[in-house]
A = this chain, B = another copy of it.
């Protein structure tokens, strides 16, 4: 049995969806690397009683380690440190040395800003941020908020609580110190290696895969298999201990036997595969996109170092932009309309020519919610890719909202590049 951890994410802004939580998933992955499994993540607002019950729930569920994120700022709704201290039976008081270190950081940050901070505002906020439960380990601030490792008070049993700040950069910067703290090392001492592998299929329905898994179920002891269908990609993620490596080999064999034609990756994302294929040949790429409005350019430039392969893209929303920036012939636009296989091909050609790239991609479609017709309903998407050795194209109608159509066309374009450059299942 692997070691287990529970995570409490605090913040009304996360609970109500104004900010997406990035810390829970990041911590789940960081813990997995230490052989620790996360059973649940509880998101609570900035209310002390909700935070207390979340701590009690996770603590009572038998986890070896508890982690909280957020609620360490200077405002009154930032109450995590005090609540955790109380929960662990350890009263908090201001640590004067820590208070001075935070004050120095705040002073330095204020000097960089145009807005002048009222000194009394800072003082109250800093004192609040320097509150430390008795016997807790302080994790030095990466921003202004220190983290804490708070063991349960003497004589009681329960997991230690690691208190981390909400901003992802601060949390991630503080993580090595948290893992090195003695109570955390002790809690994780029993953890063993937990492997994670991913297979990626393009095309087959999830129900078909379910049938394969049922058929070989008795050969898969020790594997925890999760399947997830998104944007046409079927992702199979398996976690297992080192003793189940043979079972994983059997799983891979069964999936390859039944879905070999659809299996496009045994790990890397489609984005990584496309980047690698371009770099292997020393090729560059450029984009001409309409309905995806810039998302494809943004996605291709997401990875560090992408400037070696991506020359750029045109988000040609207006027809005039398609003509003037990407040389889409006005006759084509008039004859078949902007949403057509011909214009997708012309956008790909135009991008390739204008940017002087080896490979061009074109995307055109109707993202909606308006603009659909009986012949070209909302969700109609045409894609084209062209390179030195050939071309590929795809036309379809995507179901769903404007956001879904924009994102799905972007994913389809990346798969069309994969098909053109590497082969595998057609986009």
Could you tell me which A residues sit within 8 Å of B by CB distance? 11-13, 15-22, 24-26, 28-29, 32, 38-47, 50, 53-54, 57, 61, 73-77, 106, 110, 113-115, 117-118, 120-122, 124-125, 169, 203-211, 213-214, 217, 224-228, 230, 235, 237, 262, 284, 286-287, 292-302, 304-307, 310-318, 320-321, 324-325, 354-356, 368-371, 399-404, 406
Q: Classify the interface of chain A: helix, strand, loop or mixed.
A: mixed
The answer to whether B13 touches A17, judged by C-beta atoms less than 8 angstroms apart, is no
The answer to whether A401 touches B169, judged by C-beta atoms less than 8 angstroms apart, is yes
Within 8 Å CB of A225, what residues of B?
77
The answer to whether A311 touches B305, judged by C-beta atoms less than 8 angstroms apart, is no
Closest to A26 in B: B17
CA of A406 to CA of B301, assembled, Å:
10
A-B contacts, 7 listed (Cβ < 8 Å): A18-B25, A46-B226, A75-B227, A122-B207, A169-B400, A293-B306, A325-B355
Closest to A399 in B: B169
The answer to whether B320 touches A210, judged by C-beta atoms less than 8 angstroms apart, is no
A237-B13, A317-B310 known; A124+B210 contact, CB < 8 A: yes
Within 8 Å CB of A402, what residues of B?
304
Which residue of B21, B262, B315, B324 is within 8 Å of A313 (Cβ)?
Answer: B315
The answer to whether B312 touches A317, judged by C-beta atoms less than 8 angstroms apart, is yes
CA of A292 to CA of B312, assembled, Å:
11
Which residue of B26, B40, B124, B302 is within 8 Å of A50 (Cβ)?
Answer: B40
Residue with the greatest number of chain B CB neighbours at <10 A, chosen from A45, A75, A368: A75
Min C-beta distance of A376 to chain B, whole Å: 15
A77-B227, A312-B314 are known; give 19 further A-B pairs, CB within 8 A: A11-B228, A12-B237, A16-B25, A39-B44, A39-B45, A40-B42, A40-B43, A45-B226, A57-B57, A75-B213, A75-B227, A76-B214, A120-B211, A121-B211, A124-B214, A284-B318, A293-B302, A312-B316, A312-B317
Within 8 Å CB of A325, what residues of B?
312, 314, 325, 354-355
Within 8 Å CB of A224, what residues of B?
12
Min C-beta distance of A200 to chain B, whole Å: 11
Min C-beta distance of A286 to chain B, whole Å: 8
CA of A253 to CA of B228, assembled, Å:
49
Closest to A204 in B: B115
Residue with the greatest number of chain B CB neighbours at <10 A, chosen from A213, A302, A315, A318: A315
Min C-beta distance of A143 to chain B, whole Å: 10
Within 8 Å CB of A297, what residues of B?
293-294, 297, 315, 317
Within 8 Å CB of A76, what residues of B?
210, 213-214, 217
Closest to A27 in B: B17
The answer to whether B294 touches A370, judged by C-beta atoms less than 8 angstroms apart, is no
Within 8 Å CB of A301, what residues of B?
293-294, 315, 317
Closest to A318 in B: B311
Within 8 Å CB of A294, what residues of B?
287, 294-299, 301, 313, 315
The answer to whether A211 touches B124, judged by C-beta atoms less than 8 angstroms apart, is yes
Within 8 Å CB of A300, what residues of B?
293
Min C-beta distance of A101 to chain B, whole Å: 16
CA of A87 to CA of B50, assembled, Å:
23
CA of A281 to CA of B190, assembled, Å:
66
CA of A22 to CA of B404, assembled, Å:
13
